[in-house]
Amino acid sequence: MAQPSAVPRPLTVVGWRELVSLPDLGLAGIPAKIDTGARTSSLHAEVLDDFRRGGERFVRFAVDWDGERHFCEAVHVDIRGITSSNGEQQDRFVIKTPLTIGTTTFRAEISLADRSQMQFPMLIGRTALRRRFVVDSGHSWLQSEGNADKGPGRR
């Protein structure tokens, strides 16, 4: 006799654009594109330094958006070859830090990349979305109540 399948918990609905936060980095209200075509999440950052502290590898970086520069440090998890949106392979630093979308906070792996030519300083990939969110591609700012006017590409 087959086991009854577990009842899946309801997933939070996000739009194709959301404002997100990286609380451990002191970053809030980051306009992000939700992109199920991308595996890894990505943050626009300029890597300033790769160093060791207490036996752990860290990366120091600067994040620019909305006319402001924010300086951050995070434990450096890995350097990975990641294929960019134009199909080019790039070696990128990857950090793991809490990410907040709406009222949900979880640890996410985020690559640090030059997104200066992109409309959004952050991209949320499918690995971060998996088993937490479902995307309604016809809507924006579903988890960014009261903040929809802050993101790029407002309509």
Domain CATH number, residue 53: 2.40.70.10
Q: Rounded CA gap, 120 and 155, in Å? A: 15
In a domain, 95, yes or no: yes
For tokens 């404002």, the residue is 19
| pLDDT (0 to 100) of residue 147 | 54
For tokens 């960019």, the residue is 84
Percent of the chain with pLDDT over 70: 90
The H-or-E segment that residue 93 falls in is strand 89-101
| pLDDT (0 to 100) of residue 106 | 97
In a domain, 54, yes or no: yes
pLDDT exceeds cutoff 80 at 153: no
97-112 average pLDDT score: 97
In a domain, 6, yes or no: no
Q: Is the pTM of the predicted complex or chain greater than 0.85?
A: yes
| pLDDT (0 to 100) of residue 149 | 57
| pLDDT (0 to 100) of residue 152 | 58
Which domain, by its residues, includes 120?
A: 14-138
pLDDT exceeds cutoff 80 at 5: no
Q: Domains in the chain: how many in total?
A: 1
- What's the angle, vertex CA 97, arms to CA 64 and CA 29, rounded to 5? 45
In a domain, 38, yes or no: yes
In a domain, 128, yes or no: yes
In a domain, 146, yes or no: no
The residue among 51, 61, 57, 35 whose CA lies nearest residue 113 is 61
pLDDT exceeds cutoff 70 at 151: no
In a domain, 126, yes or no: yes
In a domain, 79, yes or no: yes
